[in-house]
Structures are given as structure tokens and as C-alpha cells.
Amino acid sequence: MSVPPLGPYVAASAWGARNGPGLVRRVLDRGRTWRAVLLMVVTTAFGALLTAAWIDLVAMGWPLISLCFGLAALSAWALLAEAVARWWWFPRSFSGPVLTVSPSGEQATAWIRSGAAMVRPVSLQVVIGAAAAGEVTAAVVGGHSWAFVTAGLLAVLGLWMALPFLRRDVTAGGLYLTPHGLEHVWGSSTTSVRWDDLELTPPYEPLGLLRTAQLQHDRRGWHHGDPTDAVRGGGVPIPQAYLPGPPILIERQLRAAAGSPCQRILLGTPTSLEQYEQELARWQLGEQLDTPAAPGTDHRRGPGA
């Protein structure tokens, strides 16, 4: 039995890898809409079809092509998990900042990231592990000893990616604004910088910190993030998908503190929360705020939209 050509599948996968993340991000950022429902339905359908094909190919002992279908199927289920997590999170995403102690021990106004943000990196671990198991099974069934090399490489990759989890160095973290600077924790990374040394990405680009000599960035291992959050020049992204508040308001608070020492001294105090509540009320009434949010966000969408 001949192996079907991989060309069409490779071309479709390349198109999806190039355009898919941005399309999905725009849908999920708009909350509980019919587009999100359609995304989940379509993803479920494709995931089921690809999984059936993957299982069939593994049973026939075709390691390489089964691996391609397996990665596609598992990626579809990982995308569905992310979509469900965002659907669950949306009505809870307007809770806003809290007063707490930053990782360095200062009083801070903080947006604590939801634990649902860990769905994506955990799903990726499952994808790699299941793909490696499928490759081993196909190699055994088909008698292809060379496929054990592919499975071994996948296993090594999965173990390397899992090390931060095994060391418990991965956390959802959050964004902490203190009178002296910014601190950000996400995944296996911790970043801090003083206000006078802070350089933010320009408006209309994903929110993040540009690399400077004074920026302290500690990364304790590999951690998978959303490619749509990537910052040019190797900067440090501040993903906003699971931070509790509309992205435009979080960015306004951050830029206000970066540009005004008078605003900084209010951080970590009840006054900073009162200011945020006033901004939130304006935004919910539909006022057009002047600070742009990250691409793909809707400035005027309220919690009931």
C-alpha cells in the first residue's frame, strides 16, 4: 500500500502556522461571541477527524505520516482547550487589580494572572508526549526501527520542555506596579525594571518591555507563550489575555505610571484602585479612551457585549 503524498498537508499546515495564531487571537479576545462558538465547533470537528485518521495510520504502522496527523490532531485539541479556557475566563476578566506584595517585597498594585493561563503550556506538554507515544506504537506495529529515533527525539524535547514544571518554576504570575518600578512574572520568567529605566513598546504593538541594560530578566527554563504576544527585538512580552482587566485600561495605568512620578507614589495604595475603578466606569459607558490597546483587542467592548 502506497503512502499518500504529504505535499498538500504540509502546505496547509504552513499556512495555518503563519496565519492561524493571529486569527484565533482576534476571535478569542472578543469574548463570548458567535465566532468563539464557531471556532470551538470547527476545532472539535477537525480534531475528531484528524484523531480518527491518526489512530488509523498508527494501526497501519506508518510512523512518519501518522506523526504529522497526530501533531495536527493534538494541536486541534490543545486549541480547543485554550478556547474553552478563554470562554470560562471572559466573565471573570473584569475583576481588576488588587493590593498585594510584589515578588521583591514592595507594596504593589497588581493584576494577578489567572491560573487558566497555564492551559496552553500544559497542553503543549501533552501534545509532545502523546505524539511520541503514537510514534513508538506505529514503529512497533510497522516494524520500522528508524522511527524509534524520531520518538526518542520527541521524548527528549518533551522532557526538556517539562523541566521547569518538574522544578515547579512555572507560574501564572502577574503584573506588579510599585512606587519604584515594574515587576512581571510569567511562566518561568521574572522581570523587573525601575521606572526611570523603563522602555515600553510603542502603542498599537503588543505590550512589552524593550531590552535595556538596566532590565533584569531571569528565565529559569523554556516556557511556551502565545506567538501573538511576541515583542520585536527580543523584548519581554507582557501577555494580557488572562490579566484581570480590559487591556486598554491595564496599558493606560502602566503608561501613566511610567510617565508621571505623581502617579507612581499612589501605586500600592487604595487610591490607585479608586482611579482604576473610575477608568473602568468610563470605559463601560463607551467612552473612547486615548491609549491604544494591543492589536486584536476591542477598546469599547464591555462585560455584557
Instruction: Report if residue 111 sits inside a domain.
Output: no
Cβ atoms of 200 and 209 closer than 8 Å: yes
40 with 153, same domain? yes
Cα–Cα distance measured from residue 73 to residue 53, given in angstroms and rounded to the nearest whole number? 9
Q: What is the model's pLDDT at position 35?
A: 93
36 with 161, same domain? yes
| Mean pLDDT to the nearest integer, 47-57 | 93
Q: What is the model's pLDDT at position 13?
A: 55
Least confident segment among 85-94, 248-257, 285-294 = 285-294
Instruction: Report if residue 295 sits inside a domain.
Output: no
Type of residue numbered 99: L
31 with 73, same domain? yes
Type of residue numbered 189: S
33 with 122, same domain? yes
Supply the mean pLDDT for the chain. Answer: 84
Q: Is the pLDDT of residue 293 over 50?
A: no
pLDDT band at 282 (very low <50, low <70, confident <90, very high): confident
Cα–Cα distance measured from residue 50 to residue 153, given in angstroms and rounded to the nearest whole number? 23
Cα–Cα distance measured from residue 183 to residue 235, given in angstroms and rounded to the nearest whole number? 15
183 with 48, same domain? no
Q: What is the model's pLDDT at position 283?
A: 83
Overall domain count for the chain: 2
Would you say the C-alpha torsion 198, 202, 207, 212 has a positive or negative sign? negative
Which residue range is the domain that position 21 belongs to?
A: 7-92+117-166
C-alpha grid cell for residue 175?
503584573
pLDDT band at 193 (very low <50, low <70, confident <90, very high): very high
144 with 194, same domain? no
129 with 214, same domain? no
Instruction: Report if residue 222 sits inside a domain.
Output: yes
Paired strand residues for 173:
none
189 with 212, same domain? yes
| Residue 265, helix vs strand vs coil | coil
Least confident segment among 201-210, 237-246, 258-267, 282-291 = 282-291
| Mean pLDDT to the nearest integer, 106-121 | 93
| Residue 184, helix vs strand vs coil | strand
Alpha-carbon dihedral angle through residues 108, 114, 115, 119, given to the nearest 10 degrees: -140
| Mean pLDDT to the nearest integer, 125-144 | 87
